[in-house]
Chains A and B, each alone.
Chain A
Amino acid sequence: MVEEEPEVLLSIQAVRILRHCEENTSSVSQILAELGGRYEATIDLIRELSMRSLVQITSEKNGVGRPSRIIQTTPLGKQFIEQFDQLSDIRLQSNENDIKKAVKQAEEVRKLVELGVDPYIRFQEVNEIARNIASTTQISRHP
């Protein structure tokens, strides 16, 4: 039987949690405050990471009420981050078309500069249009 590659290990959010809990032991609410994301999804992710021994969950009693659950990255989790970083250093997220597009945009700016156009002036024009579109969209969404 072929074991399915767990998607959680490839999730950027999982790596962000591991990194965060490597530097600071945190509760779920602290993780959510720092990294964002949905509560349920984050809980599931932390459970999954714990099942794979990448984080350790301990309970900490703080006065009255339920004890908080503290999450800390394990040595295996730290090793995982290192391996992930090594892989990330050779793997681009862009495809060839993304890079071609950026190269074309750079060439267009170079031509503009050669024609004596200040790219910042052009940027302000484009930015203003984008801002107007964004504010119009907001208005129509929230009448």
Chain B
Amino acid sequence: MKSLETSRALRKLVDILDEARIPYMVIGGYALIAYGRIRTTQDVDIAIAASFSDVVRTHDLLKKSGYQLPSAARREAAFFLVTDLENRVEFEVWTEPDGVVFDAELLKRRIKIRPFGDDLEVFAIGPEDFIVNKLARRSKGVGDEQDAASVLKRQQGKLDYDYLMRRAKQAKVVGLLQTLMQML
């Protein structure tokens, strides 16, 4: 069953990141389910708080652990692909997710999720930062806006709106956020 393999692969990846002391969080479709709608997704997206030297170190660690990385670490790349060959699972590892500022506050606002219903518990991006990340995507499409809208709806009254607005300003998506909120 694929979810079992994805769970195994994510556990392995998270263990490596934890050991290397690289803060991470699940973003994208797997995080969305915790506070928004349910939609299908095949890849697992992870963001890491890492300087370029940390990215190089992560590349080396992953390669040594048997992962396949199609390209060498590049300073200008916003993400890199990592394939767990054993479990046949692909990860998109983001070092610069759109609109996300990796600071202590963001890391503190991460939530814990159990995406496979087993004992695997991992960090996921907080709902406010998720909304901003979706609205700030460079290649943003209808699906991203729907994801953000679903979080705004399901978490209505529970979000930290001051924080959300502050992050939206930083990411220059206040206009989009306000338009979306008016449509709910």
Chain A residues near B (Cβ < 8 Å):
12, 16, 19, 23-24, 85, 88-94, 96, 98-99, 101-103, 105-110, 118-124, 126-128, 130-131, 134
Taking residues whose C-beta sits less than 8 angstroms from the other chain, chain B's interface range is 35 or more
Top 6 A-B residue pairs of the complex, sorted by shortest distance between their CB atoms: A102-B146, A105-B37, A106-B150, A130-B40, A106-B154, A90-B175
Give the A-B contact count at a CB cut-off of 8 A.
112
Bound-state Cα–Cα, A92 to B145, Å: 8
Knowing A12-B139, A19-B138, A123-B38, say if A103 contacts B173 (CB, 8 Å).
no
Q: Whole-angstrom distance from the CB of B67 to the nearest CB of chain A?
A: 22
Chain B, residue nearest A90 (CB): B175
Q: How far is A8 from B139 in the complex, measured between Cα atoms in Å? A: 17
User: Is B50 positioned at the interface, with any CB of A under 8 Å from its CB?
Assistant: no
B111 CB, nearest partner CB in chain A, Å: 13
Q: Which residues of B contact A119 (CB under 8 A)?
A: 33-34, 38
Minimum distance in angstroms from B144 CB to a CB of chain A: 8
Is B115 part of the binding interface, using a Cβ–Cβ cutoff of 8 Å?
A: yes
CB-CB < 8 A to A24: which residues of B? Answer: 76
Known: A93-B140, A99-B184. A127 touches B114 (CB 8 A): no
Contact mask for chain B residues 7-50; partner A; CB cutoff 8 A; 1 contact, 0 none? 00000000000000000000000000110111111100000000
B40, B115, B173: which contacts A120 (Cβ < 8 A)? Answer: B115
B38 adjacent to A122 (CB under 8 Å):
yes
Are A106 and B33 CB-contacts (below 8 A) given A16-B139, A92-B176, A121-B117? no
The complex places the Cα of A26 from the Cα of B116 at a distance, in Å, of 42
Neighbouring A residues of B176 by C-beta, 8 Å: 88-92
Q: Distance in Å from the Cβ of B182 to the closest Cβ of chain A?
A: 10
List which B116-151 residues lie within 8 A (CB) of chain A. Answer: 116-117, 138-142, 145-147, 149-151
Residue from B3, B37, B138, B179 within 8 A of A128 (CB atoms)? B3
Interface centre among A99, A118, A128 (most CB of B within 10 A): A99
| Contact partners of B174 in chain A: CB under 8 A | 89
Contacts of A107 in B (CB 8 A): 153-154
Give the chain B neighbours of A23 by CB distance below 8 A: 76
With a cutoff of 8 Å between Cβ atoms, the chain A residues found around residue B184 in the complex are 99, 103
State A90–B177 Cα separation when bound (angstroms).
9
Cβ A118 vs Cβ B38 within 8 A:
no
A96-B183 CB under 8 A given contacts A102-B150, A107-B153, A130-B40: yes
Q: Quick check: is B108 within 8 A (CB to CB) of the other chain?
A: no
A130 to B107, CA, bound (A): 32
**Pick from B2, B117, B142, B147: contact of A118, CB under 8 Å:** B117
How far, in angstroms, from A132 to B109 measured CA to CA in the complex?
35
Instruction: Give the residues in chain B near A109, CB-CB below 8 Å.
Output: 33, 36-38, 150, 154
